[in-house]
A and B are shown apart, each in its own frame.
Chain A
Amino acid sequence: MTKKTVWMGLLAVAVSGTAWAEEDQIELKPGIGREQVMANCVMCHSLDMIQINSPFMKKEKWAATVNKMRNVMGAPISDEDAVLIVDYLTRQYGVD
């Protein structure tokens, strides 16, 4: 565990600017909830993870995905934000 903490400090060296600079160029579709997605989801993964998983999930699948991120992956997303995020993902990146 201690070793891992030290290594995390080396992250900037580990991942060169190339990938992350490109990541900044990802543009999610406009819509209510986009702000909450940007604020929460990018903490652990780039937003292309959303783009590539579209458009084939219904609302319950997006809800299950967001629940997995909160309950299994530990993402600290508030209840209020989760509602907005699921609605946004369904509307902009889902199917009816």
Chain B
Amino acid sequence: MLTRRKFLKGAADLLLVGAGASLVPRWVAATELPAGTIAASLLESLPGKRPLIKRTYRPINYETPIEYFSSVITPNDAFFVRWHLSQIPEIEDRAWRLDIGGEGVRQGMTLTLDQLKYEFEAAEITAVCQCAGNRRGLSNPHVPGVQWEKGAMGNAVWKGVRLKDVLARIGLDAKTVEIEFNGADTPAYEKTPDFVKSLPLDKALHEDTLIAYEMNGAPLPHLNGGPVRMVVPGWAATYWVKKVVSIAALTRPAKSFWMSPAYRIPRDMFPGVRFTSQEKEGDATTPVTELVVNTLIVNLKDGQKLARGETVTAQGIAWDSGNGIARVEVSQDGGRQWQLAQLGTDHGRYSFRQWTFAWKPEAAGTHSLSVRATNNAGHTQPLEPQFNPAGYHNNAVQRITVEVV
């Protein structure tokens, strides 16, 4: 109970109050997160971070409170933290080395941070980094894993160099099928599989795939993978390998627990591209790849009281895998009729896109506001989560219920 009270108190400090609104603290517990998640979660500061919502201490898994998504760029010190393994070394810039090798290169090379920064052309991109399991805690039924609510994501301006430029310097064998990434994090116990991920060659060589050393104009923070991490715009954060220290060109598909059976979804459930070199005959799964289109209301909470006849500007963000947001719509009747929201500035196809909707509930009583986005590929959001065993890609329409008094 002590931790719960601490959480409530801390959360209250963070609330953004809408026009004429008073808030009840019920929202903290009003989600469908497991009861044990709610009881064990609290707001807590990691070194260099503002208070974030602690899900687990070790490995370090902390999510961003929704309030921070009221700005289109998520501040570094409020950006979510997610690690699979518990040993996370702090590496000084001058000690960091990147080894590039593998069967697909004739001769490997090793780069220092200065070489990476000054021997290749710099590139910058604004992109959403979202855990594939964001909103897992809202899966119905619940599934095991880190019980994320809605804040295992963030949007940042990433600066680094293009992976394709670095690979071009050494040249790839024509037989290369995947590029594999390993970070400096290690498991607590030697027999636990190291966290290693691979990308198909075309995504690895995409001009937007970066080896990044800056986040929002600052050196990449330690807890977000500094000094150097992968940035794979449009794809789930599982590929954005943090503290990357080795890159290997593979002539055969990668084999690691973290590629299979972990991070798998049913092949035909979601619209993202198929990672075919990682698909196996007789197994109907494919790796999680591209993010699904999604939205979030950032300034209204379940149970919030609104004054009758007053206009409240609902604010939110929408994002997808890089097709871009075509429209955001809201519904006041649970999804039967939809009205267009106003889209904000376009910060690039991989970025959060802000939206607003002037909402004026006329009668006293309970009102709901649902929101959905549609991307330029025509994909939109389902009313209910599409169940899959690990709770990935939950982009069910968000519905907020308020009391008008």
Contact = CB atoms under 8 A, between A and B. Distances in A.
B57 A19 contact: yes
A57 to B, nearest CB: 7
A13 to B, nearest CB: 6
Contacts of B282: none
Contacts of A16: 47
B357 to A, nearest CB: 33
Interface in B183-204: 184, 186-193
Interface string A1-26: 00110011011011110111011001
Interface in B30-53: 34-37, 39-41, 44-47
A46 B137 CA distance: 18
Contacts, number: 117
B188 A46 contact: no
A10 B92 CA distance: 11
A9 to B, nearest CB: 9
Nearest to B262: A72
B86 to A, nearest CB: 7
B35 A54 contact: yes
Contact of A65 (B91, B144, B191): B144
Interface residues on A, range: 35 or more
Interface centre among B35, B56, B88 (most CB of A within 10 A): B56
Contact of A8 (B87, B141, B145, B257): B87
B122 to A, nearest CB: 26
A interface: dominant SS:
helix
Interface string B6-41: 000000000000000000000000000011110111
B interface: dominant SS:
loop
Interface in B252-278: 257
Interface centre among B40, B41, B88 (most CB of A within 10 A): B40
Contact of B141 (A15, A46, A56, A65): A56
B102 interface: no
Contacts of A18: 44-47
A25 B76 CA distance: 28
24 contacts: A4-B184, A8-B89, A14-B90, A16-B47, A18-B44, A18-B45, A19-B44, A19-B46, A51-B36, A51-B40, A52-B40, A52-B137, A52-B146, A53-B34, A53-B144, A55-B35, A55-B36, A61-B144, A72-B257, A73-B191, A74-B191, A74-B192, A75-B192, A76-B191
Given A10-B89, A15-B60, A20-B58, 11 more contacts: A8-B186, A23-B58, A26-B57, A48-B54, A56-B34, A57-B144, A74-B189, A74-B193, A75-B189, A76-B189, A93-B36
